[in-house]
Amino acid sequence: MGLKILLKFSNSPTKYPEESITEEFWNSARVQMVAISAAGLGVFLFLFSKFKDTQPAIPYFVLIIGGVLLAQFVTVPMIFVENVDLYLKLPLPVADVAPMMLVYMVLYCAMLAIVDVIEQVMSNAAIEKIDPLKRKTNSNNSLLAIWIANMGSSFFHGMTNLDGLAKSTTNKLAGAMTKFSVLVIGSVVCFFTFNPQYLDYLPKFSLAAIMMFTGYKMIAGLAHVTHYGPYALMLAFITAGLVFKVGILRAYWLPC
């Protein structure tokens, strides 16, 4: 997953506003965008190395606020989130669905539920290793939380989700130590869910730098597997390759 995140956002530094598109690849707009992205990532890494043990949230705020301010004076690609109306609706199929399709739907939902449970428990084991306070994770509470969240989101045409490793890695890197950080994150997500227009002020390169750094840290986390011997390391690389190549759903079922 870390490699997927890293590669997904690695092309953002070479993107530039559509109005500057020309046949020449390395035009002035692309060079400017690469320079801005490199400078932003460099400042972020410098500040993180300086404040990671005291105030690790500083580089995140500097990069985001600095990117927003820079976008007021320089034309850069911005994040765009389509404002889709939320409406409450029972998660039931339409009337003309064939009986066999209902069977497929139930089986697919069961598969998603099993995968979510497996991934959540595995994520909890990994989260315990990155927790700076070395606390034990209560998987029962985690599973209950994602069950309630996924059941609720289904009434708004939402997809399944869980409190995965990427979010916990970002949380830990930002210096969060207590469960109060989850409440803060939930409040921020809730605000932007109902006010997505404010995300239009965030340039893509700022988000890309943060996500590339998070992806790299997730990949670097594989280093602890070396302590468990060559078999565990081989299994980790095979699993990572399957997730990267065929996706997380098929990667779970191929070994079976």
| Amino acid occupying residue 200 | D
Mean pLDDT of the chain: 79
pLDDT at position 255: 44
**pLDDT score of 126:** 77
Helix ranges (DSSP H) in 21-87: 28-51, 58-71
pLDDT in tens, 16-65: 555 555 566 667 777 888 888 888 889 999 998 898 878 888 898 899 99
pLDDT band for position 116 (cuts 50, 70, 90): confident
- What CA dihedral angle connects 125, 127, 131 and 135, to 10 degrees? -40
CA 64 to each of CA 54, 177, 201: distance values in angstroms, whole numbers, following the listed order: 19, 21, 10
Q: What does the pLDDT look like over 204-218, one tens digit per residue? A: 888 888 888 877 877
Q: Could you tell me the two tokens for 116?
A: 């979510």
Domain spans, the chain: 2-217
pLDDT of 251 reads 46
161 CA to centre of own chain = 11
pLDDT for position 253: 46
Residue 252 has pLDDT above 50, yes or no: no
Q: Cα–Cα distance between 108 and 196 in angstroms, integer? A: 31
Q: Is the pLDDT of residue 118 over 90?
A: no
Q: What is the pLDDT of residues 183-206, one digit of tens each?
A: 888 898 889 888 888 888 888 888
**What is the model's pTM?**
0.66
For residue 256, what pLDDT is reported?
42
